[in-house]
Amino acid sequence: MAANLVDNSKPQKEVTLNIGYELIVPVIINSDSGLIYTFSGDIRGNEAIKLANVIPQVSDAASTLYLYVLRGRDTSNTFIVDRPTMIDCLAIYNFTGDTNFLAYILVSLFKFWTILSPVLHSDKVSDEVKWELWFHCPYQVLPDVWLDNPHFMRVWRERQDNKYVRLNADEVFDFEHVTTKVNTPEANGANEDEEEEIPSTFIEKSTSYSRQTDQTVISVNEIKEMQDNNVASITNNTTYNGKTQGEKVKQWRMSGERIISNTINNVREGPSKSYVHNMLISESYMDSDVMEGLMTTFYDNGRVMTKVSYKGGQVDGKYVTYKDAIGSPIERVSEYHDRW
């Protein structure tokens, strides 16, 4: 899969997208880019298209993948590896009509057919999108309802991209395999002069899919950190060949804090949100593992506490503090620049 999914044989244009968090990014599009291309004909000057206006409300994992593809980043080792994200990515395609993104979706669908193909029977996917997906599938996997449909088969036979399709190779499914690892202070290099740490035991429960031909391993994991026989924290994630892919959730039992972040190839990409006892306390945006744009924090009653601008992982721009009062009036505004 090429890094850029935009067809270079078609006329291209560069537009800018407002992705929220006070971030504007350039993308290259063409007539296959669907709704964004349509919107681009109405913009004036350097006006940015709001991403939220051209995609439906979906998970951060799916919207970040769509933006990742739009930005022409390397997708040769970046895949959709779980059904909820696939369903949301299909919702993006259904809404936008972006066939460049559909090409990316199909690579993941065929590479991980066994675990992703049930979306073709899901009532969460529109019939129109299912119809389009089945057109790309090889003859041997088509259900009888399509094989017996003369109109469908006539269109299917006219296509050339569905006659030779590679699906899964050999696969192994392992349900809730449990491993235990003890992490002691000594193992972390602690010395006698440092404050004594409580040793942690990590119990990892993984439901995995593996394939020997290309050493693929996809695991849905729950990792419990135990201290003194009590649960200290729980982390839930999905990994592709050992690297976290998609949503990662970590929750600490004592404090009630929960962090939900998004990851691509073990690198934080997209929105990151923190909660305490299910109340949102902060939200920010990570670009290639670095905080960028606007970080917002909240009082425990939901009112805005601060809004801070970041660039390259450092405060750069306005630092606005708000009073804990109705309407969140501004208490103080500071400016930070050139801190490198």
For the cut 50, the answer to whether the pLDDT of residue 2 exceeds it is no
Residues 6+ apart with CB under 8 A from 61: 84, 85, 88, 246, 247, 262, 270
pLDDT of residue 186: 53
Residue with the two structure tokens 């309802």 = 145
For the chain, what is the mean pLDDT?
A: 89
pLDDT of residue 212: 80
User: Of 30-44, 71-85, 159-173, which gets the smallest average pLDDT?
Assistant: 159-173
| Token pair for 151 | 């109109």
| Token pair for 173 | 């499914």
CA 321 to chain centre: 30
Give dist(CA 137, CA 116) in Å, integer: 13
User: Of 23-27, 130-134, 207-211, which gets the smallest average pLDDT?
Assistant: 207-211
CB 143, CB 133: distance < 8 Å: no
Taking the model in full, what pTM does it have?
0.81
Give dist(CA 55, CA 47) in Å, integer: 18
13-18: strand order across its sheet: 24-29, 13-18, 49-50
Give dist(CA 265, CA 247) in Å, integer: 11
Average pLDDT over residues 136-155: 93
Give dist(CA 295, CA 218) in Å, integer: 32
CA count, 13 A, side-chain hemisphere, 318: 11
Average pLDDT over residues 42-52: 85
Nearest to 283 by CA among 308, 301, 318, 265: 308
**pLDDT band (50, 70, 90) for residue 274:** very high
Phi-psi domain of 98 (left: phi exceeds 0; alpha: psi -120 through 50; beta: other): beta
| Token pair for 82 | 């779980």
76 DSSP assignment? T
Average pLDDT over residues 95-114: 94
Give dist(CA 81, CA 220) in Å, integer: 10
Residues 6+ apart with CB under 8 A from 296: 282, 283, 284, 304, 306, 307, 308
Give dist(CA 136, CA 146) in Å, integer: 12
For the cut 90, the answer to whether the pLDDT of residue 340 exceeds it is no
Q: What percent of the chain has pLDDT over 90?
A: 71
Q: What is the pLDDT of residues 65-96, one digit of tens each?
A: 999 999 999 999 999 999 999 999 999 999 99
The three-class DSSP label of residue 73 is coil
pLDDT of residue 12: 87
Per DSSP, helices labelled H in the chain are 35-40, 60-70, 83-96, 99-111, 113-116, 127-135, 144-147, 150-158
For the cut 80, the answer to whether the pLDDT of residue 10 exceeds it is no
Q: What is the pLDDT of residues 285-308, one digit of tens each?
A: 999 999 999 999 999 999 999 999
pLDDT of residue 199: 84
Nearest to 159 by CA among 177, 133, 180: 133
